[in-house]
């Protein structure tokens, strides 16, 4: 008899199949947060798997003695009291690299959107494309190429490294800001089996890093205070573009709006917001901001891999392999 597993925020079919093949019982239900403790105790759940909707705080951990594993499908675990769970002898697992590629591709989707003014063109073409085609063509011809520009990446984890790989492949010059200076090789693999290594040295000073950047990608865990505030935005070029796919609260949205409105910044993209799930209307309506609803890792490919990676870790724990 394997574990009894509740994937409360869902899990991919391949992940579920693998868990069942490994002998675990899978509970295919969605339990409301206020009913979670009672359900776990009634069903004697061993493993709870969550994404971002369900929280597993101290109250759940204390009230549910059958729990052995808390799993997070994704990178950040700010919805779980990780250290407390570990202090109580629970395993806490996540999938830090499963969605890296998907998040990095969204970063560049926003980069391309902003470089070619698509966030505005997509709003205006349905309304004015027929009557003002020539005017819109002229208006949105003020665009730039990505090749040859400096790509700044804050954070040197799995997502940051994928962003760097894509940038290099597109002919960009990479710069990395990390809390600890380091030198690492980044390998870019091609379809025919060939690969190329690039040596990357990191910066540890925003003051030295930001003024050089043309396209900035923020890829860090949740921070207690703003990492990018008015002062930091002021260090960027007026032509710079900023994309945040990390966490809401890493970037000061009010300072960002002021920088955009006063032409101190060319454009920005937000996949995460300070006020989720109700972002501020000024953010949503600003024509210089490209928007998406926290979908960085939301691809079928990433979700399949997340499920598989969670299933592997769960079976490894059950069989005392880790």
**What residues act catalytically?**
247, 276, 294
Q: Where are the beta strands (DSSP E) in the chain?
A: 4-7, 25-27, 47-50, 69-72, 91-94, 150-154, 173-177, 183-189, 195-203, 215-218, 241-244, 267-270, 289-291
| Cα atoms in the 13 Å half-sphere on the side-chain side of 23 | 6
- Please state, in angstroms and rounded to a whole number, the distance separating the CA atoms of residues 150 and 26: 47
67, 90 in Cβ contact below 8 A?
A: yes
What is the torsional sign of CA 141, 254, 205, 235? Answer: positive
Peptide bond into 245 cis (omega under 30): no
* Residue 17 to residue 177: CA distance in whole angstroms: 40
Tally of residues, the chain: 322
Contacts of 87 (CB under 8 A, 6+ apart): none
In three-state form (DSSP H/G/I as H, E/B as E, the rest C), the secondary structure along 198-220 is EEEEEECCHHHHHHHCCEEEECC
Please, what sign has the CA dihedral across residues 301, 220, 106, 183?
Answer: negative
Could you tell me the two tokens for 129? 């494309």
Whole-number Å distance between alpha carbons of 267 and 260: 7
């Amino acid at each position: 008899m394997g574990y009894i597993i509740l994937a409360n925020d869902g899990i991919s079919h391949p992940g579920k199949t693998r868990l069942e093949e490994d002998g675990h019982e899978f509970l295919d239900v969605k339990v409301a947060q206020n009913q979670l403790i009672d359900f776990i105790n009634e069903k004697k759940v061993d493993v709870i798997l969550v994404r971002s909707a369900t929280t597993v705080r101290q109250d759940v951990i204390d009230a549910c003695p059958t729990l052995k594993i808390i799993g997070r499908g994704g990178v950040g675990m700010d919805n779980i009291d990780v250290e407390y769970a570990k202090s109580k002898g629970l395993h806490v697992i996540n999938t830090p690299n499963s969605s890296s590629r998907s998040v990095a591709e969204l970063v560049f989707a926003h980069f391309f959107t902003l470089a070619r003014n698509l966030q505005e063109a997509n709003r205006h073409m349905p309304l004015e494309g027929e009557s003002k085609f020539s005017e819109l063509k002229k208006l949105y011809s003020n665009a730039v190429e990505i090749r040859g520009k400096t790509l700044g990446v804050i954070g040197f984890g799995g997502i940051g490294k994928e962003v760097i790989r894509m940038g290099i492949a597109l002919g960009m010059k990479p710069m990395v800001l990390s809390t600890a200076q380091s030198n690492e090789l980044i390998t870019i693999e091609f379809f025919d089996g060939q690969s190329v290594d690039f040596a990357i040295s990191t910066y540890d000073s925003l003051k030295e890093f930001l003024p050089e950047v043309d396209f900035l990608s923020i890829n860090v865990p949740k921070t207690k205070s703003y990492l990018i505030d008015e002062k930091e935005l002021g260090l960027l070029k007026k032509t710079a573009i900023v994309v945040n796919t990390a966490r809401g609260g890493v970037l000061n949205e009010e300072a960002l709006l002021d920088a955009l409105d006063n032409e101190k910044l060319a454009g920005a993209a937000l996949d995460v917001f300070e006020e989720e799930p109700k972002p501020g209307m000024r953010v949503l309506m600003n024509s210089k901001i490209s928007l998406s609803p926290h979908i960085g890792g939301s691809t079928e490919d990433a979700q399949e891999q997340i499920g598989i990676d969670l299933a592997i870790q769960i079976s490894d724990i059950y069989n005392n392999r880790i």
